Amino acid sequence: MASAARYFLNSTSSLEEDGCPSTLRDRLRDDDTPATSSSIGPIPYQNIYQQVHDCLGKSLETSKPESKVVPTPDRNDQASQLRESYARMGMSLHSSAIEHLVKAHTDVQAKTASFAEKSSETLSQSKKLYANIAYPLSATLCHHNDHEDHPRATVAVHLKKLQEEIAAAREEDECCATEEQAWKQLNKELADQGGQNGVDAELLKVAEDLKKQAEAIVEEKCRLLDEVDKEFKAEIQNETLKMMQDLFDD
């Protein structure tokens, strides 16, 4: 075995003369090696083993000393076994490298496609979010609740309507207050006249009933005003919640 190894090492000096690469890597890089392909299908490399085998065989045969007697080739000698081992190892390494390259290329393509899909989804969501942010709140329409008193309109329209209702309620409240003051003044005058001239009890009773009716009217109007105020606040809160919900839903 030692003589065979020494015999193989001494043969490397004649590699350049025969035009054969000095290493297995150089041989695998030779122009005769089939080009790789990016496809996933099987790649024919049946001649790799033969190329490596022939290369090593040529190197060993070139380095042999000249002899008058040509020895009979023996497939069981150490040089042939070493050549076979290196040839098989070269074919295995070449096939493994090509397999890993094809697998790596496939993985990169799959990850690239997945990244492109996720980027497209993110970009679409960003565009929708920007459209919601850029859309003015004053132009946002509220939801229609199938009621004639609450049609589908913008927030500005609803606020204007509520302002008109509040103004009308305040005007009515002022009228009630004026009416109440007038009744108080009338009752006072009647009381003064009754004390001086002796107005009968029936007239005082009528005046008291009128006073109670006026107070009831004032109380009712105040209650209506409070209801309008509560309705206004609830309406504003509902509209705000709806707009925030629509923004998050989009």
pTM to 2 decimal places? 0.29
Judge residue 49's burial from the number of C-beta atoms within 10 Å of its C-beta, 0-12 exposed, 13-18 middle, 19 or more buried.
Answer: middle
User: 173: buried, middle or exposed (CB in 10 Å: 19+, 13-18, 0-12)?
Assistant: middle
Identify the residue whose tokens are 């609803």.
158
| pLDDT tens-digit readout, 182-219 | 888 888 877 776 554 555 677 777 878 888 888 888 88
Give the range with max mean pLDDT: 10-19, 53-62, 117-126: 117-126
Distances (CA, A) of 30 to 24, 52, 113, 209: 10, 11, 34, 121
Q: What is the mean pLDDT of residues 55-73?
A: 50
CA 160 to CA 154: how far, in whole Å? 10
Contact indicator for 43, 34 with CB cutoff of 8 Å: yes
What's the pLDDT score for residue 91?
A: 86
Domain ranges of the chain: 2-133, 139-249
Q: What is the mean pLDDT of the segment spanning 4-14?
A: 42
Work out the angle at residue 122's Cα, subtended by the Cα atoms of residues 117 and 125, and round it to the nearest 5 degrees. 130
Of the two residues 246 and 228, the one the predictor is more confident about is 228
- Dihedral angle, C-alpha 141, 143, 145, 146, nearest 10 °: 60
Report how far residue 158's alpha carbon sits from residue 164's, in angstroms, rounded to the nearest whole number.
10
